[in-house]
C-alpha cells in the first residue's frame, strides 16, 4: 500500500457460515471498526465492513459487503486492512505510528549510527524495535521511555540508549 495508508488490522479467519469474518485490530481500541467501514487491501481492492461488533476478547466480527458464505470469507483470510492516514485521529506530541518508525536510522546519544529500524512488534508484553545493525546482525530493543532517548522524524533518526539493545 502507499505511504498515505496505514494497516489497522488483519482478517484472521471466517466466522460462521454466512460470510462473516474475524478481525484482529491493530488499533489502540477496536471501537475504530464500529466507526469506520471502508477499507482497502494490500492488493488495492476495496472492501466494506457491515454490522461490525466487538467480542469480549477485543476481536472484531463483521460482515463484508458482497461476501455471503464461508467459502468467500475464507478467501479473505490473512488480508490486512488499510485506511487512509487521515481517517485516524491526530496523535499526541509524543505518539507515533509504528509505520513512522520503520526505516529510521538508529543512533546512540553520541551520534554513532547503530543501524536501521526494520520492524516494530507488539506481541502483548510491550512494543519492541527490530534493528538491522550496521554489521548486518539483527538486534532488538524495547520501545519505552527508558530505551528511546528521542525520535526525530524530520531527520529520520531515532536516538536510543544502547544499554537496552540486545544483539
What percent of the chain is predicted at pLDDT more than 70?
98
Three cell numbers written together for 34: 464500529
Q: Check whether residue 35 and residue 54 sit in a common domain.
A: yes
Query: Number of folded domains in the chain?
Result: 2
Q: Check whether residue 102 and residue 154 sit in a common domain.
A: yes
Q: Check whether residue 75 and residue 116 sit in a common domain.
A: no
Pairing of strands 157-160, 105-107: parallel
User: Is residue 137 one of the residues assigned to a domain?
Assistant: yes
Predicted structure pTM score: 0.73
User: Is residue 93 one of the residues assigned to a domain?
Assistant: no
The answer for residues whose C-beta is within 8 angstroms of residue 64's C-beta and 6 or more apart is 19, 20, 21, 47, 48, 49, 50, 73, 76
User: Is residue 92 one of the residues assigned to a domain?
Assistant: no
> What is the residue range of 129's domain?
98-162
Greater pLDDT, 108 or 4: 108
Q: Check whether residue 63 and residue 116 sit in a common domain.
A: no
Q: Check whether residue 77 and residue 20 sit in a common domain.
A: yes
Closest CA to 55 of 26, 25, 78: 25
Q: Check whether residue 56 and residue 115 sit in a common domain.
A: no
Q: What is the pLDDT at residue 123?
A: 75
User: Is residue 143 one of the residues assigned to a domain?
Assistant: yes
What average pLDDT does this structure show over 75-96? Answer: 88
Q: Check whether residue 57 and residue 125 sit in a common domain.
A: no
Choose the final residue of a domain: 87, 112, 133.
87
Choose the final residue of a domain: 87, 109, 139.
87
Residue 146, domain CATH: 2.30.30.240
What percent of the chain is predicted at pLDDT more than 90?
66
Q: Check whether residue 74 and residue 110 sit in a common domain.
A: no
Taking only the tens place, the pLDDT of each residue in 146-164 is 999 999 988 999 999 988 9
Taking only the tens place, the pLDDT of each residue in 114-134 is 999 999 988 777 889 999 999
Give residue 35's pLDDT band: very low, low, confident or very high (50, 70, 90).
Answer: confident
Q: Check whether residue 15 and residue 74 sit in a common domain.
A: yes
The mean of the pLDDT values for the chain is 90
Are 92 and 112 in contact by the 8 Å Cβ rule? The answer is: no
Q: What is the pLDDT at residue 1?
A: 46
Amino acid at each position: 500500500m502507499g505511504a498515505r495508508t496505514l494497516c489497522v488490522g488483519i482478517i484472521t479467519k471466517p466466522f460462521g457460515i454466512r460470510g462473516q469474518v474475524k478481525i484482529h485490530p491493530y488499533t489502540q481500541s477496536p471501537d475504530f471498526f464500529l466507526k469506520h467501514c471502508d477499507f482497502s487491501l494490500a492488493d488495492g481492492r476495496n472492501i466494506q465492513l457491515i454490522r461490525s461488533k466487538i467480542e469480549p476478547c477485543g476481536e472484531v466480527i463483521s460482515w463484508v459487503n458482497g461476501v455471503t458464505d464461508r467459502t468467500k470469507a475464507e478467501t479473505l483470510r490473512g488480508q490486512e486492512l488499510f485506511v487512509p492516514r487521515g481517517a485516524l485521529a491526530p496523535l499526541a506530541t509524543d505518539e507515533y505510528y509504528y509505520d513512522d518508525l520503520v526505516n529510521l536510522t538508529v543512533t546512540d546519544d553520541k551520534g554513532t549510527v547503530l543501524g536501521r529500524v526494520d520492524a516494530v512488534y507488539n506481541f502483548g508484553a510491550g512494543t519492541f524495535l527490530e534493528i538491522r545493525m550496521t554489521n548486518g546482525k539483527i538486534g532488538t530493543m524495547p520501545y519505552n521511555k527508558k530505551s528511546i532517548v528521542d525520535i526525530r522524524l524530520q531527520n529520520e533518526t531515532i536516538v536510543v540508549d544502547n544499554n537496552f539493545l540486545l544483539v
